[in-house]
Structure 1
Amino acid sequence: MKLALSSLSIATILLFTGCSHKEVYKPDNVKGEWRTAGRISSSIAQTGQSAALLENGHLLTANGEKNIKLPKNYRLINADNTWIITESPEGNMVLFPEDGTDAKVTFDFKRDIAAASIQEDVVAVLFANNEMALYSLESKKLLFKESANIPIAVDARIANPYFLKELVLFLTLDGKIVIVNSETKQLLRSVVVNSDEYFNNVTYMNVIDNNLVASTGNGVLALSQKEAREKYEIRNIAYTTEGIWLTTKQGEVIALSPTLQFKAKKKFPFAHFVGLSVQNDRVYALEQEGYMIALTKNLLAYDVYDIDMDAKNKIFLGDGRFYFDDRYINIK
């Protein structure tokens, strides 16, 4: 191996070095600076769709920083108004009350957990091998279990199970939505979001007005009376009653109807979007080189603003805020 490496010519090394040069987004015009609105107590260490964990152990939710400190080396899985779901270094699922009391609950799984959610006494868990399970919160008894295809590789953005009244929607690591009745403990239906082999876990899902929208990194599904699917290399997605907006790996911002009918597209060469939010009459796309692009919902007009942000910062989307490093900006 050493001989093979030493035989590489300088010209070859320079060729590889040249090819590794990365193009970045450079706007033609910057309207001004989008100023920092406030700070949090520490930099962001872990991020998820429902919450983030700061370097000092404090919890950050969509509503702001909580005066709750989680143990060191615990991994944040999910958080709601009642429970903070974490994974201990030993592979156990540990639930901390959101009100900050000491009445924690531990499930001795000793195995890797991908995602989890809680509704009343039902705990829905998706394990890293794509196995789905329901447990009783009070008794810790196993209520339901279903195996699925073990994924080869997954996107780090893993969506947690979704409760819809008595239904549990497991968002699997192989691109499906598996619907289970939590009362009868029966599997009712499985819906394919996307069927790619790699990095195909469901990364997003929401239901508005009986219309379900879900996505992987490679495609999006809309499910109401009919199923509709479209292929996009998705970085971020936002869904409201007015429609769907998404950003792609090609630097595009795309507007769709709630049933995935194409409405508009705007391309920003070499842009790498790290956040997306729809507020009032604007679509806000956060670009990792430190730019906020504020577009009209029809994507016909936009302004670009400078943001004091490092490309390596972890991003968390709150209620009308983008959090990064130890600060945030308002977008409402």
Structure 2
Amino acid sequence: MKSILLSVVVIALFTACSGKKYYEPEETSSNIELNKKSMSSSIKSMNKIGATLEDNEIITKKGISSFQLPEGFEFINFTEEGEVIATNYIDKILLGTRERKVKDVVVAAAKRDEKLALIYSNNSMELIDINTDKTLFKEYLPLSLANDTRVANPIFMGSLILFPTLNGKVLILSSATNEVVRNISVDTDSDFKNIISLEVEQKSESLIVANAHKVVAISARDIISKEYDIRDIIIKNGYIYIATVDGNIIKLTPNLEEVAKRKYKYAKFHALAYGNSLYAVESQGFLINISDDFRNDTVYEFSFDNEKRLIAIDNKVYFNSDYITLP
């Protein structure tokens, strides 16, 4: 009887495994120079704009740091002056080389001049004058129990301060009055509501906001939204590029008009990167390069451990304890 049950279990497991589908390109090319280099250690934590390594060095758009964060701190942002902002996820943040006590667990932050904008893990927002320690603004929002790890930081935009909340909203604060002038709802119904990307597309001066299930374009004239199950989103050269959970790569204008789309059957994308053109990292060990007009692509073999963290920043892809620079 035991042998019969064992056989049934083995058959069931085999059937389940054999039913899994994976992306398989028709052909691959080796005609690419990836300039692979080693890092001092592997990635410990990351967000949309950077990462912390196991030895406490950090990765940003400037590359790998030549310094280490204090033990227990992890990178979350950097200031306009280039100072690193880090959190210990307990009771402190780091501004450059100065540690500062905070009232709760900081998960996102930004700083301009004397103003420090903080987002706490309990979904409260605070604006502090760092010279006087005075709280200029504080708002408590409903708790968000499930969050995507890609928590977006606040941004300073002209005379406004934008707080991307953990429950799918953006609070727009006047820097002059320190009061909320607008409250934009992106997506408050999904399981993972928090904003994962908040960026200004410079040419159109549109604010592009996304969580895991929706992207919203906000301009002086319109607020436009579209639903996508988003694996990654980047803005480059006046366009928005999205990789979706179901294997699509989509190119959009700043007002969310679809310019082009390519479908990759069963593909699971980890990240988008941009060298001279668009690249997508696929979980089965492939790097897909798509032409600007989306009419052609080239697939390269790209070996990495898809169980470990990987982050793409501009034309660099960091993975395991290595990184590559894309042409």
* Same fold by TM-score greater than 0.5: yes
Cα 1:157–1:17 change in 2 (3 A) is farther
User: Cα deviation per residue 1:174-231 (whole Å; 9 max; x = unaligned)?
Assistant: 1111101123111100112223231011100211232111111001101111111111
Measured in 2, the distance between the counterparts of 1:243 and 1:36 equals 27
Match for residue 113 of structure 1 among 106, 110, 113: 106
Q: Secondary structure at the match of 1:32?
A: coil
Which of residues 249, 272, 280 is equivalent to 1:285? 280
2-side partners of 1:52 and 1:39: how far apart? 15
Q: Deviations for 1:63-100, whole angstroms, at most 9, x for unmatched residues?
A: 111121112232322224433222226x1232142xxx
Q: Could you tell me which residue of structure 1 aligns to residue 167 of structure 2?
A: 174
* Partner residue in 2 for 1:232: 228
Contact 1:249–1:272 (CA under 8 A) maintained in structure 2: yes
State the match for 1:246 in structure 2.
242
Residue 138 of structure 1: aligned partner = 131
Distance 1:198 1:257 in 2: 28
Find out whether 1:104 has 2:101 as its counterpart. Answer: no
- C-alpha change, 1:145 and 1:87, in structure 2 (3 Å) is same
Note if 1:56 corresponds to 2:36. no
Q: Does 1:261 align with 2:260?
A: no
| Residue 155 (1) aligns with residue 154 (2) | no
| 1:141 partner letter | K
1:107–1:140 CA contact under 8 A, matched in 2: no
Identity %: 28
Aligned to 1:3: none
Q: TM-score, normalised by structure 2?
A: 0.90
CA contact 1:174–1:197 (8 Å) conserved in 2 = no
- Does the CA contact (< 8 Å) of 1:51 and 1:61 recur in 2? yes
CA, structure 1 residues 183+9, in 2 after alignment: closer, same or farther (shift >3 Å)? farther
C-alpha separation in 2, matches of 1:206 and 1:161:
10
Task: Extract structure 1 runs of 4+ deviating beyond 6 A.
Answer: none
Counterpart in 2 of 1:38? 37
Aligned partner of 2:320 in structure 1 is: 325
**Given the two structures, how large is their TM-score scaled by the length of structure 1?**
0.89
Give 5+ residue unaligned stretches, structure 2: none
- 1:268-305 Cα offsets, whole Å, 9 max, x none, are 1221111112333x211111222110001232110000
Q: Counterpart of 1:82?
A: 82
Query: How many residues get paired?
Result: 318
Rounded to whole Å, the distance in 2 between the matches of 1:256 and 1:318 is 20
Alignment pair present for 1:272 and 2:268: yes
Indicate the SS of the match to 1:19. Answer: helix
Distance 1:17 1:79, change over 3 A: farther
